[in-house]
Structure 1
Amino acid sequence: MEMMPCEQPAVRLIGWLSPYVHRAEVALRLKGVPYELLHDDMASKSDLLLTHNPVHKKVPVLLHGHRSIPESLVIVEYVDEAFPAGPPLLPSDPLARANARFWARFLDDKCWKALWVALWAEPGEARAAAAREAKEGLALLEAQLPEGKRFFGGDAIGLLDIAASGVARWLGVFEEMAGVRLLTEEEHPALCRWAREYAADETVRQCLPHRDLVLAVLTPRRGMFVSTAKAMAAHK
């Protein structure tokens, strides 16, 4: 009797128009994994989201069969390991892999926090200090680009490229909304070049929302961004 191949568990992704959801989506597409995107309005969080991410109550959440995996960078690493047939997203060398993880965490734990206060806080010393810190962070990130290569991952997109994807699309939208420029060709030419290369990649384009759409959806949330930045600046 002929053995039938085991069906792979269905892959679903809870998310919306977010740079963190994009990380998970692009990881799935780069690995060639079919998935269903379940749109979740973060203004009224669904029971599905609250069931599968009761700790943070945030998107993205990856549903792989009966498993649920929250947090974008955790999802990227899970996808890389759970679907080994596709191109690797993390380097095989242990040191290079550790470095990619370090700079990915740097983006979330330090760089984006400074960017957020620099974008949305009230004018003053706290905002000016955050702008200096944000630009220094972008310069440190830019220094990780391998000379002569298109991406942080070399000739192919890897973990750090995916982690930095918010810089390639969402940061420019936030700058326009806030009337603040932090990433410029004069100060960060290599990072600006990388952002264009990333946004132009064929696989990335399949799940990278158009700039005008991001602007239209996020502009009504400006007040929430300002409130968040005010709280962050107060706790620095």
Structure 2
Amino acid sequence: MAEVKLFGFWASPFTIRVLWALKLKQVAFDECVEEDLVNYSSTLLQYSHAQKRTPILFHQGRPIAESLVILEYIDETWKQKALLPQDTYDRAKARFWAKFVDDKCMPTIMSVITKKGEDQQRAAKEAQQNLKILEGGLERKPFFGGDTINIVDIAAGSMWCCVRAVEVHIGINLVDAEDMSLLNSWFQSFIDLPIIKERAPLWDAILEHKEGLQKMLMALST
């Protein structure tokens, strides 16, 4: 097996963030091995431990699972262009906000995609509240990392496709340009970075996938 190999899914926010980190660190790796989310490969089933999901990063034949864990592993292994601050307090804050993205923001955004009617409206309100809290983590800086992007920018930036899919296909604006002007500006600045655009999937393809994902998840929940 190659020194660095990634197993993931092209439209997954969690896979996308790992691709961004590898690109930012200029780590040489084989192109991402695409997983079928219905029929996982034997490699993923063997090494993804209890989660049985993407992504999985192999480094020198050893597997690392869970995207935030993978991001920290990448940062500790390849020191150039640090994703976590050197100051211990700032590192703790960065870990808090990255975990907030995964524990609070992501689940409520996905609930908006899968729910209907009043349940969907409640989920949207909760998602908006969480995103407003996340905006506070910017502290009026250009990026969560200050003048450069860090692990929080990568984690939160991977939500962009889901936020836009909710807006386009469901008609609910989760990040209001007036009420969340800082977060809205940050989203656009982050996605417009050339190094981020280079490893982001095509927008039309992402939207098409999110529409199909919504239909599939809603069918399974009925």
TM-score, scaled to structure 2: 0.92
From 96, 111, 116, the equivalent of 1:117 is 111
| Corresponding pairs, count | 219
TM-score, scaled to structure 1: 0.86
Distance in structure 2 (CA, Å) of the matches to 1:112 and 1:187 = 20
Partner of 2:131: 138
Local SS of the residue matching 1:12: strand
In the TM superposition, 1:90-109 aligns within 5 A as 90-109=84-103
CA contact (8 A) 2:24 2:81 kept: yes
Partner of 1:11: 4
Partner of 2:22: 28
Distance in structure 2 (CA, Å) of the matches to 1:200 and 1:191 = 14
Partner of 1:38: 33
The reply on whether 1:183 has 2:178 as its aligned counterpart is no
CA contact (8 A) 1:27 1:79 kept: yes
| Amino acid aligned to 1:174 | V
Local SS of the residue matching 1:26: helix
C-alpha root-mean-square deviation of aligned residues, in Å? Answer: 1.8
In the TM superposition, 1:151-190 aligns within 5 A as 151-190=143-182
Distance in structure 2 (CA, Å) of the matches to 1:168 and 1:194 = 11
Distance in structure 2 (CA, Å) of the matches to 1:54 and 1:145 = 34
CA contact (8 A) 1:119 1:180 kept: no
In structure 2, runs of 5+ residues without a counterpart are none
> CA offset at residue 105 of structure 1?
0.9
CA contact (8 A) 1:49 1:57 kept: yes
> CA offset at residue 60 of structure 1?
0.5
Partner of 1:6: none
* Identical pairs, percent: 34
Moved over 6 A (4+): none
